[in-house]
Structure formats: structure tokens, C-alpha cells
Amino acid sequence: MKIGVIIVFNNNALEIERGLFDSLFNFRSEVKLCLINNGSRDDTLDKLEMLIDTSGLNCTLIDIKQDKGINFAIKAGARYFFNQNKLKYFGYSTTSDLKVSEDLFYLMNEIENFVKTMINFRADKEESTNKMKPVFFKI
């Protein structure tokens, strides 16, 4: 089961550090990350590109030039997952309230817990007659 995780960043360059995605390393094959730079005016985009290059995770970076709000950014990530990957399950989170790097690492631990929960969830598709629809989880 592939799981998508959308994380929206906005002016978080000072908080982004190497090793941010290390907690998800064990789930490399199950997790697809969609990182969204939501109109940042600092070096957030450059730092995210560096993290993607060094993380080894399956990441996509979407750069939204102007901040059009959190909902717009989340919808952009959801559209990407649904159109490109046909994922049924994905979660999202924002970094708007996070101001220190420890908060970002805490967020990544929460995402790891979300991924563990979703991997352990087994839906019996053969017995179900209802088609599954994409599900959003706020992390």
C-alpha cells in the first residue's frame, strides 16, 4: 500500500535541517512525499531541493510562486497524488505554526506514526463492493 504525505512549507528556511526526513527512511518504499513551497520569500525552496537530493525518499516538490493560502496548497498536492500516483490514502500537514527546528522534527515523528498506522490498516478489498475514494487525513 502506497501512502502519500503532503507537507506545506512557508518561509521555513531557518528551521529546515539535514536529517529532517530520516525518521521516514524505514518507510522509503511505502511513502511518497509531496513538499509544497507555498510562496516563500526566503531560501525555503533551495533547502527543500537540497533535502530531496540527500534524503533518498520518493519526493516531489511543488513550487507555488505566490502564497494563495493553505487550502490551495493542499489541493495542489492532492491533485498531484491523485493524477500522477493514483494513491488512495494521503495525509497533509502544514508548517505554518512551527517556528523552531525541533517542531519540524516532532512533525516528522507524527508523520511516521501516521504512516505506521496506515500500513497496519488492512482493508479487505475483495469483500467490499463499495469503491474506495481518496481519503484526507490531517496529521
86/95 Cα distance (integer angstroms): 25
Quick: pLDDT tens for 3-26.
Answer: 888 999 998 888 888 888 888 888
15/8 Cα distance (integer angstroms): 13
Q: Are 1 and 85 in contact (CB under 8 A)?
A: no
How far, CA to CA in Å, does 104 sit from each of 95, 100, 127?
7, 7, 40
Quick: pLDDT tens for 41-65.
Answer: 999 999 999 888 887 777 899 999 9
Q: What is the pTM for the complete model shown?
A: 0.79
Please give the pLDDT value at position 14.
86
| Residue 115 CB partners (closer than 8 Å, separation 6+) | 3, 5, 24, 27, 30, 31
